[in-house]
Structure 1
Amino acid sequence: MDTELLAVRRINAYYADSHVLHDVSISLKPGRLLTLLGRNGAGKSTCINAIVGFLPPRSGSVMLDGAALEKCSPEQISRAGIGLVPQGRRVFGSLTVRENLDVAARRQTPAGRRVWSREDVNQIFPRLHERRDQLAASLSGGEQQMLAIGRALMTNPRVLLLDEPSEGLAPQIVRELGNVLERLKSEIAIVLVEQNLGLAMKVADDVVLLNTGRVVFSGSSDDFQAQQAQLQSHLGVS
């Protein structure tokens, strides 16, 4: 499909008087995974925050399947079909795995949108089923990341945003995460913020590279890899 699902157009965002995003544009199509790359402080997480409404842009537009989101509240944006897996996982530690999934469940959703059940999530992450009655705080870092992704899926998103999902995870878990993202992107368009360049390039169809809040590259992952030597000065990834 060639139709844009998520279209971010020339957004500008500020922290107080500090201008942190400068005319940033992103285009995401169904069935694609776009990775946002850049050094620490380049504006990647800020871009995610602008899309989900935590830091509304002062100018520019954010469109989901043609509907404007830039003036909507985070709750409205979530209900429209934007799911977030936040940096640091932020699972509800005092709730069980089952309760974390159930609290996010959204059973009423517009016609045509995939409805995710706890059983669907458990098929992707069998360990969550095994630990369904454990408190989330007792899970390993990798299991908490699985739970954070599963919880976001329970909101029935059309676009899934993941902010640094591999942070602090063992290499084997990072490989498992890559396999999960490959599987998910056939059903949900994904924006991935990632410092692990190996993981990012394994799963990415498209790349946007930021430096000091500005887009310095936007294109396919093949084009990015062909130009990587020239773009290396903008990268702070491993």
Structure 2
Amino acid sequence: MATELLALDKVNAFYGDSHVLHDVSFSLRSGRLLALLGRNGAGKSTCINAIVGFLPPRAGSVTLAGKALQKCTPEQICRSGVGLVPQGRRIFPSLTVRENLEVAAGRNPPPGRRRWTREDINQIFPRLKERQHQLAGSLSGGEQQMLAIGRGLMTNPQVLLMDEPSEGLAPQIVREVGNVLEALKREISIVLVEQNLGLAMKVADDVALLNTGRVVFSGTRDEFQERQAELQGHLGVA
């Protein structure tokens, strides 16, 4: 039976004096993939920043398996079991593929949480194994995204946050990313921020939809699709 793993409850966040998240509440259940949708500027990446501690909420709570995260440092949050695949990949270009993975390797996780190894990542992404001694900055955009996903997994997370993993990728690579997400969600709970609605609908179990920093829908993928015509104006896509 699915249980709540990650939860935001009435989260409010600010950039300076600008109020950007307004009482945001949604939850990720164990063993599920939640697609966090919305047009540009809706607050999706800000939610990710609030979860990982880059932008601590001024009000409300963020919990992982019942443990409060909102007053923890980003390092503490990572060790607690929240992994991040950031927007723009942010790999270390002057390090090799292997070094990028090794630098992210977490300590032995607590009982019940999977420990990811370079061998696991190479099995998911064989091209990374072929390029393990190559400088990451010389990889193609798709290969850099594979590396960013692998690096996020190497932290041994309970929850993996993925911010726009299909951004700037060719359609064939987007399909490969979709296939990887479908396989990964059998192993780990995922929050996926994604502008590519087709990809999101292919892999999502649940959906939270934001507009101007507020949740305007939260439910299952099927419930979202039943109301998609009504909600289309919040998406900013055709």
Q: Over aligned residues, Cα RMSD in angstroms?
A: 0.8
Asked whether the 8 Å contact 1:38–1:237 carries over to 2, the reply is no
Paired amino acid for 1:30:
S
1:24 corresponds to 2:24:
yes
Please name the residue that 1:155 is paired with: 155
Q: Output the CA distance in 2 between the equivalents of 1:88 and 1:237.
A: 21
Please list the CA deviations of residues 28-72 of structure 1 after superposition, one character each: whole Å capped at 9, or x if unmatched: 111100001101000000000000000000011111001110000
Paired amino acid for 1:205:
D
Q: Output the CA distance in 2 between the equivalents of 1:176 and 1:42.
A: 27
Asked whether the 8 Å contact 1:207–1:219 carries over to 2, the reply is yes
Paired amino acid for 1:108:
N
Please name the residue that 1:234 is paired with: 234
Q: TM-score, normalised by structure 2?
A: 0.99
Please name the residue that 1:33 is paired with: 33
1:141 corresponds to 2:141:
yes
Q: Quote how far apart the aligned CAs of 1:109 are.
A: 1.8
1:97-116 matches, cutoff 5 A: 97-116=97-116
Paired amino acid for 2:166:
S
Please name the residue that 2:73 is paired with: 73
Please list the CA deviations of residues 205-234 of structure 1 after superposition, one character each: whole Å capped at 9, or x if unmatched: 000000000000000000101100000110
Q: Quote how far apart the aligned CAs of 1:104 are.
A: 0.6
Structure 2 residue ranges without an equivalent (≥5): none
Q: Output the CA distance in 1 between the equivalents of 2:150 and 2:65.
A: 23
Please name the residue that 2:55 is paired with: 55
Q: Quote how far apart the aligned CAs of 1:2 are.
A: 2.6
Please name the residue that 1:46 is paired with: 46
Q: Output the CA distance in 2 between the equivalents of 1:23 and 1:41.
A: 16
Q: Quote how far apart the aligned CAs of 1:106 are.
A: 1.3
Q: TM-score, normalised by structure 1?
A: 0.99
Paired amino acid for 2:213:
G
Q: Output the CA distance in 1 between the equivalents of 2:18 and 2:76.
A: 27
Q: Secondary structure at the match of 1:5?
A: strand
Paired amino acid for 1:211:
N
Asked whether the 8 Å contact 2:2–2:31 carries over to 1, the reply is no
Paired amino acid for 1:158:
Q
Q: Secondary structure at the match of 2:60?
A: strand
Q: Output the CA distance in 1 between the equivalents of 2:64 and 2:229.
A: 34
Sequence identity (%):
79
Structure 1 residue ranges without an equivalent (≥5): none
Asked whether the 8 Å contact 2:91–2:147 carries over to 1, the reply is yes
Structure 1's consecutive aligned runs of 4 or more residues displaced over 2 angstroms after TM superposition are none
Asked whether the 8 Å contact 1:6–1:28 carries over to 2, the reply is yes
Please name the residue that 1:200 is paired with: 200
